[in-house]
Structure 1
Amino acid sequence: ADGFMPARTPLGFALSKDVLLTLRFKHMKAFDDVQESISRSPAQAGGPGALVVILEAVVDHAADVLEGVGGDLDCLSEEIFGTNAANARRRKPREDGEQLRLVLRKVGRNGDLTSKIEDLLLGMARMLPYVAANAAPYLEAGMRAKLKSLQRDIDSLNDYVTHLTDKIQFLLDATLGLTNIDQNNIFRILTVVSVIGIPPTFVASMYGMNFKNIPEYDWSFGYQYGLLLIALSAIVPIIWFKWRGWW
């Protein structure tokens, strides 16, 4: 299918000595060049030859997709651990969090795409031995050799899928770890601020406004002054959090 995130769609084959029928419900990008390839080589015009060409096209397309995933993961790894990562950490926590969420979504999309390619390779790995065994009378020596080569290619791609899956899991863990570190840094600052405020709060709760020589008692606008302080005590932390990028 076209696009970055292909959808699963069934693909069926009915093979005879001279005819190959394909059953598809959606356009498949791997089939775009199959007709042109068969027209250039008349020896592949029969049913078995056409089947081999289609299977080769599917495997080649899967390899291209996996190569693209590998390139994306390299870019994401550089974004997380590269030389520019230290400068990126100097941004506001809110901006840094948005960037980490974007990286997390990219890692997830690549993981989903790799999983779909893995399912495709699993189906083809089961199909090739079946074709080789049941279509043996129709297959020439060259076609049987191509089927064996396809099987080796699929085995190699499966190994590469395992490598990509491990790398995706590593990047996922690293991204979540960086998110937790940023959150812990914010909580640490808030904890320090709250601990600093505990002793004054304790003293105020013991003595309060229990002294006779408090100047504010004689102020004409003492009550309004107190309300203003209460409002400022709520507004100033909000402004500070916004400025620091914590909210």
Structure 2
Amino acid sequence: MLKLIGKDGRETDIGTAVWADLCEPEESEIAEVERRFGFKVPDREDLSEIELSSRLRTHEGALVMSAPLIARHGDAGVLSPTGFILAKDALVTVRFCQMTAFDQVHEEFARGDHEVGGQEVLVRLLEDIIDRSADRLERVAEDLAKASHSIFREPEKDAPKKRLGRETRRLRALMVGVGQASEQMVKVRHAFLAIGRIANFVLDRCEPKIPEALHDRLVAVKHDIESLDEFESSLTGRVQLLIDAATAFISIEQNDVVKVLTVVSVAGVPPVLVAGVYGMNFHDMPELSWPWGYPFAWALMIVSTILPVLWFKWRDWL
């Protein structure tokens, strides 16, 4: 699909367009844009290159830039290569997924009454992408705050003790959620760092030089990215803390079970020994002729079970 935006912000024909937006383009649309602007439109493979020299370069007087941007795919976001070609009088964008930021800028320019240029479109796109990156990080921070509250909450005094299996499943689900939040952070970081490099590249290489107002807005984009980078770094530390804490709590719960099993096994050794002794049935065993021999054996087994348990409790091992 090809959208052509003129200087008035509304859709126009190829001859007067200052913004050509290629979304999942067909070959005929690519050829039409190449004839109009006189440079080759990069394909998906070109835009997926990770070398800095491939992502930021000049070609035939135009600035050719690419960045992995987040596109909606089902319930999750995916990184999709996106290209920006800034010529002297126009901007060409190439993308392979629907992206809300581009649609939002389309609508914004269509409602406006001021003249639109290629540089203005690029700056507005970068601003909107950064705003959406900030919103995504804010949602991630909220998800991490909920996970933290659930992991570190104090148990209610009168609440029944939770079963190990249920508690382990709960903590595992929290760890999955934290891991998904971390994955989202990585995608957002890839996007806004690439946008930061584009902003620097435009400020350094754009000819003719961009107007002062747009220059100040690009500088503001750089500052926003620096603050987002710091915020993302703090979230990364929080993610690691939550994962370590959830893992530790699972280990503690499992250790409690092992401790109980250990006490039971130790407490069960003396009565087994007593039962083994009195199960030998020797003729000269004096207890065989006692009227209270059987109760005595039972009492001995019970006492030998209780004493190890009391010993564990005294040492605060149980």
TM-score, normalised with respect to structure 2: 0.62
Taking the TM superposition and a 5 Å limit, the aligned residue runs for 1:25-36 are 25-36=96-107
What do residues 175-203 of structure 1 show as CA deviations (whole Å, max 9, x unaligned)? 11111110111110011111112233345
Q: Distance in 2 between matches of 1:86 and 1:93?
A: 18
1:21 and 2:97 are equivalent in the alignment: no
Instruction: Pick the aligned partner of 1:82 from 127, 132, 153.
Output: 153
The structure-2 alpha-carbon separation of the partners of 1:52 and 1:154, relative to structure 1 and needing over 3 Å to count, comes to: same
State the Cα RMSD in Å.
Answer: 2.2
Deviation (angstroms), 1:29: 2.5
Taking the TM superposition and a 5 Å limit, the aligned residue runs for 1:26-105 are 26-43=97-114, 45-83=116-154, 90-105=161-176
**Counterpart AA for 1:159:** E
Taking the TM superposition and a 5 Å limit, the aligned residue runs for 1:146-185 are 146-185=217-256
Which of 166-175 and 75-84 deviates more?
75-84
Q: Would you tell me which structure has more strand in proportion to its own residues?
A: 2
**8 A Cα contact 2:119 2:210, kept in partner:** yes
Match of 2:202 in 1: 131
Match of 1:117 in 2: 188
**Counterpart AA for 1:101:** R
The structure-2 alpha-carbon separation of the partners of 1:60 and 1:71, relative to structure 1 and needing over 3 Å to count, comes to: same
Unaligned runs of 5+ in 1: 214-247
What do residues 84-121 of structure 1 show as CA deviations (whole Å, max 9, x unaligned)? 67777821111111111111111111111111111112
**Counterpart AA for 2:215:** R
Q: Distance in 2 between matches of 1:55 and 1:33?
A: 12
Q: Secondary structure at the match of 2:76?
A: coil
**8 A Cα contact 2:144 2:178, kept in partner:** yes
Q: Secondary structure at the match of 2:85?
A: strand
Q: Distance in 1 between matches of 2:86 and 2:232?
A: 30
Q: Distance in 1 between matches of 2:159 and 2:83?
A: 49
1:211 and 2:281 are equivalent in the alignment: yes
Which of 136-145 and 93-102 deviates more?
136-145
What do residues 126-170 of structure 1 show as CA deviations (whole Å, max 9, x unaligned)? 221111111141511111111000000000000100111111111
Q: Secondary structure at the match of 2:83?
A: strand
The structure-2 alpha-carbon separation of the partners of 1:93 and 1:55, relative to structure 1 and needing over 3 Å to count, comes to: same
Unaligned runs of 5+ in 2: 1-70, 284-318
The structure-2 alpha-carbon separation of the partners of 1:74 and 1:132, relative to structure 1 and needing over 3 Å to count, comes to: same
Aligned identity (percent) is: 33
The higher radius of gyration belongs to: 2
Deviation (angstroms), 1:62: 0.2
Match of 2:17 in 1: none
Larger relative contact order, structure 1 or 2 (CA cutoff 8 Å, min sep 6): 1
**Counterpart AA for 1:147:** L
Q: Distance in 1 between matches of 2:275 and 2:145?
A: 57
Which of 182-191 and 129-138 deviates more?
129-138
Q: Would you tell me which structure has more helix in proportion to its own residues?
A: 1
**8 A Cα contact 1:14 1:22, kept in partner:** yes
**Counterpart AA for 1:143:** L
Q: Distance in 2 between matches of 1:24 and 1:201?
A: 75
**8 A Cα contact 1:17 1:138, kept in partner:** no
**Counterpart AA for 1:166:** G
Deviation (angstroms), 1:57: 0.9
Q: Distance in 2 between matches of 1:101 and 1:89?
A: 21
**8 A Cα contact 2:88 2:207, kept in partner:** no
Q: How many matched pairs?
A: 212
TM-score, normalised with respect to structure 1: 0.78
The structure-2 alpha-carbon separation of the partners of 1:84 and 1:199, relative to structure 1 and needing over 3 Å to count, comes to: closer
